[in-house]
Amino acid sequence: MREWRVVWSRAVLLSIMQPMTLAELERKVEELRAAWRAALAEVTDAEALEAARIRFLGRKGHLTRLLSSLKEFPPQERPHAGRILNQLKREISQAIEEKGREIEQREWERRLAAERYDFTLPGKWRPLGHLHPLTQVRLEIEDIFMRMGFDVASGPEVEDDYHNFEALNIPEDHPARDEWDSFYIDDTHLLRTHTSPVQIRVMKSRKPPVRIICPGRCYRRDTPDATHSPVFHQVELLWVERGLTMAHLKWIIEEFVRRFFGPGYEMRFSADFFPFTEPSAQVHIRREGGPWLEIMGAGMVDPAVLTEVGYDPEEVTGFAFGLGIERMAMLRWGIEDIRLFYQNDIRFLSQF
């Protein structure tokens, strides 16, 4: 049984392995060429192309199998057989390459058509931040006075009683202290209620002439409303020198207001009282037709203050003012509620 099967299969093999004639080979090559062309015509993408390549040129592909039959030909026929097989192989390889390029090009065009860019569309808008309106106003005020020859000084926000009150001629139990409702830190320290204590610190550390401004935060125990905030900003100004008078003070203020606001604003001086100035004044500003708004207290430095810091009031005189930064901003932009400055609402801030 087993032997029979071996004998049978050998016979079959022998019949199959009958050497091919050249004519047969040429016919097979033609068939294969036709089959290749038909297969190629069906190919539309890179994957199908690769599959076709493997089917014809792969290790077990149709053409590869034919090539391995070369050795069956007698030596004198082999060159011819080799030539026609190689000719087909080149044809197929070239066609694969061309088709590959074609597919790539088509894929590229498809993507170009799909991913269409409209270069006329507006770009993405990323808003740029800018300085807070109060900072803008402070810098502008500094700039105006620096051009007039003033230095910018600073002092601590946590002050002691002495600098905030006593040295400014406001002794304990003086009724004027009530004007500055204070946040006390301990028995003798408080959040400064105004920038005036910097006057004392500067005069104690310099000889006259002194010409400074000092911008900074101030604190008062006020209930917030449209015109009051427990934290706000002032710019203090102090000029001490031989021969200064109220006329110089008035000129400086007028010149400053003119430079800051330009035309269209009115200014009004009136008498006031501060323990550290004599005489004292307050300055109101209004936009033409608008309501008057007090922007500063001012006056000639009281001789008692000059004496306190070691200056001789017979030799030098001085003047000073304390200006509200918020008020300046409110006047400039017509803002009616001081609380808007501290709410960090972008809709408000982005207007400046």
Q: x/- string (CB under 6 A) for ligand DAH, residues 245-274?
A: -----------------------------x
Question: In whole angstroms, what is the distance from residue 194 CA to residue 256 CA?
Answer: 21
Residue among 137 and 238 whose Cβ is closer to ligand DAH: 238
Which of these, 272, 147, 162, lies nearest to 213 by C-alpha position?
Answer: 147
Q: Is 194 in the site for ligand DAH (CB under 6 A)?
A: yes
Contact 287, 260 (CB under 8 A): no
Task: Give the count of residues interacting with ligand DAH (CB under 6 A).
Answer: 11
Structure tokens at 1: 């049984």
State which of residues 169, 182, 277, 317 lies at the interface with ligand DAH (CB under 6 A). Answer: 277
Amino acid occupying residue 233: H
Least spacing, CB of residue 341 vs ligand DAH, in Å? 18
Q: Which residues pair with 13 in a beta bridge?
A: none
Q: Is 298 in the site for ligand DAH (CB under 6 A)?
A: yes
Residue among 215 and 322 whose Cβ is closer to ligand DAH: 322
Least spacing, CB of residue 313 vs ligand DAH, in Å? 15
Residue among 39 and 216 whose Cβ is closer to ligand DAH: 216
Burial of 192 (0-12, 13-18, 19+ CB in 10 A): buried
State which of residues 145, 150, 311, 321 lies at the interface with ligand DAH (CB under 6 A). Answer: 321
Q: Is 197 in the site for ligand DAH (CB under 6 A)?
A: no
Least spacing, CB of residue 300 vs ligand DAH, in Å? 8
What angle in degrees, to the nearest 10, is found between the helix axes of 133-147 and 325-333? 110
Q: Is 145 in the site for ligand DAH (CB under 6 A)?
A: no
Angle formed at CA 349 by CA 348 and CA 350, multiple of 5 degrees: 95
Q: How far apart are the first and last CA of the chain?
A: 106
| Interface with ligand DAH (CB under 6 A) | 194, 196, 236, 274, 277, 297-299, 320-322
